[in-house]
Amino acid sequence: MSVLITGGAGYIGSHTVIEMLAAGYDVVVADNFYNSKPESIRRVKTLAGKEFPFYQCDIRDKDGLSEIFRKHRIDAVIHFAGLKAVGESVEKPLEYYDCNVGGTLTLCEVMRDAGCKRIVFSSSATVYGSFNPSPLKEDMQTGAVTNPYGRTKYMIEEILKDICRSDNEWTAVLLRYFNPIGAHISGQIGEDPNGIPNNLMPYVSQVAIGKLQQLSIYGDDYDTADGTGVRDYIHVADLALGHVKAVDYALKNKGAEAINLGTGTGYSVLDIVKAFEEANGIKVPYKIAPRRSGDIATCFSDPSKAKRLLGWQAQRNIDDMCRDSWRWQSQNPSGYDGLG
């Protein structure tokens, strides 16, 4: 079985390519390197010990995508490609709608024309918005999102549901990720954000290595055990394995299905700082700063549907996540920078 992985050079995509190859799938990868480097593909090939076709292609390029489907018999697509920075999406909504929504429409048209009607989509816990209480369940209302990035994820979910309603040959697995962190156990691939990181774990790692002076903890007056924000952090390798199970599922089932990928456990910002310090024996200086606009107090999953439908459950704990994040950061202080 052959699977096209869009955005396969990126953070979650690169880990998923490795797990898909290990599970025996043939993969074809397409990425425009907007937020990734060719070096990640080189390292994935080395780690997997396997070759696979790679195309530098934008998902909005219909001819380029069609050419990939002409050259390869693709049975399913895992669709990671897209823009993902919440703050940037507020500044550049048109770019986000064009790339995420427009790109997905083009991809689906090409898939339909090629007769490939199975897609596993990177959605996000952000579609639950700020009103639903945790643990978040798939049947809760979605759409009360607060930024254009989140709205693209919600809109794409709705588009894929409509496609499945209109044609019962389609399968769409809408994977709602919680907070992916960690890196491949080798320390060879990991998250490589541009500029100053927005997300907690890359920020913590860059403070630990001395690139940034101290962490700002955004608020200690939330209604949580220690006052700092609580999230459901999930190891990227577990997330990658969830995609393998989602493709297995998509090959055997029809229709649209939203599925959470989280651990079901919430950790606060202070929990993460402590866990990182203990796992790695390194101090992470921090200060308490004002709340970040748009943040909610608590967000964690009910992961039972993934267990029931996919037979998948996260295996790695918070210490594994902190250790593996640090191994990647300390072995690659500048990420893939300078390595093409």
Alpha carbons 1 and 75: distance in angstroms, whole number: 6
**Residues within window 3-42 making contact with ligand NAD, judged by CB under 6 A:** 6-7, 9-13, 31-36
With CB under 6 A as the contact rule, which of the stretches 18-26, 129-137, 213-221, 258-266 interacts with ligand WQD? 213-221
Place of tokens 């191994």: 327
Between helix 11-22 and helix 236-252 the angle, nearest 10°, is 60
| Catalytic residue numbers, as ranges | 149
Q: Contact with ligand WQD (CB under 6 A): which of 54, 69, 96, 203?
A: 203
Report the partner that residue 7 touches, choosing among ligand NAD, ligand WQD, none (CB closer than 5 to 8 A by kind): ligand NAD
Query: According to the binding rule CB under 6 A, does residue 147 interact with ligand NAD?
Result: no
Report the partner that residue 32 touches, choosing among ligand WQD, ligand NAD, none (CB closer than 5 to 8 A by kind): ligand NAD
The string of DSSP codes covering 149-192 is HHHHHHHHHHHHHHHHHH-TT-EEEEEEE-EEE---TTSSS---
Report the partner that residue 330 touches, choosing among ligand NAD, ligand WQD, none (CB closer than 5 to 8 A by kind): none
Taking a C-beta distance cutoff of 8 angstroms, is the pair 3, 244 a contact?
Answer: no
Q: What is the smallest separation between the CB atom of 10 and ligand NAD, expressed in angstroms?
A: 2
Alpha carbons 15 and 166: distance in angstroms, whole number: 33
Which one, of 302, 36, 305, 244, lies nearest residue 120 by Cα?
Answer: 244
Which one, of 36, 25, 151, lies nearest residue 76 by Cα?
Answer: 25
Alpha carbons 233 and 45: distance in angstroms, whole number: 27
Report the partner that residue 17 touches, choosing among ligand WQD, ligand NAD, none (CB closer than 5 to 8 A by kind): none
**Residues within window 47-76 making contact with ligand NAD, judged by CB under 6 A:** 58-60
Query: According to the binding rule CB under 6 A, does residue 180 interact with ligand NAD?
Result: yes
Residue 57 zone, left/alpha/beta (φ > 0; ψ -120 to 50; rest): beta
Interaction site with ligand NAD (CB under 6 A): 6-7, 9-13, 31-36, 58-60, 80-84, 99, 103, 122, 124, 177, 180
Interaction site with ligand WQD (CB under 6 A): 84, 86, 124, 126, 179, 198-200, 203, 215-218, 229, 231, 269, 292, 295
